[in-house]
Amino acid sequence: MTHRLPELWHTSPVAFWLVAACLAYFVWMAARLAVIDIRSHLLPNRIVLPSYWAALPLAVAAAIGSAGATFDGGAVARVVGGGAVLWAVYFVLRVVYPAGMGLGDVKLAGVLGLYLGYLSWEHLLWGTAAAFLLGGLYGVVLIVLRRATGKTAIPFGPFMLAGAALALLLPA
């Protein structure tokens, strides 16, 4: 997403400022949620749910930024679809194995899907894969260091946020 900012500045300053505001909010949200999840294994609704509204300007930015003067409904559908698809994937994981995924993770997935969907479906895939890879590596390191077992609960929110942040840094 950061690679798209210079292009937006030239093609659509309004989209530039919308995306910049959403990125600033993402940094604030990610920092707060990571600290809270590490400390308490919770992702509070008072932060996660308003983040849906804070990410919606990405849909507007996608509509006006990628098409120039015309409305791009496909870009809007990708943003909203990204949020819906990632929410659904995490919801299925929650239903299949409730002990492994909390509802806070499911709600956060929808928000991250909006951000990653703004860029592309590939970014959505890479951000999700990075989250599971980072979380899995962390779990393996804990097991190797004998600080945890295969049954030890670890907060997954920070890995979701880190995976999304990494994907947002990927070139579009």
One DSSP character per residue, 125-169 reads HHHHHHHHHHHHHHHHHHHHTTS--TT-----HHHHHHHHHHHHH
In the chain, the largest separation of any two C-alpha atoms, in whole Å, equals 58
Q: pLDDT for 84-109, tens place per residue?
A: 999 999 999 999 999 889 999 999 99
Query: What domain count does the chain have?
Result: 1
**Residue 69: its pLDDT value, please?**
57
Residues 136/128, Cβ–Cβ less than 8 Å: no
Give the domain range for residue 112.
5-169
Q: What is the mean pLDDT of residues 113-126?
A: 95
Q: Rounded to two decimals, what is the model's pTM?
A: 0.93
Confidence band (pLDDT; 50, 70, 90) for 70? Answer: low
Tokens read off for 102? 């909390």
pLDDT, greater one: 70 or 131: 131
Q: How confident is the model over 16-40, as pLDDT tens digits?
A: 888 899 999 999 999 999 999 999 9
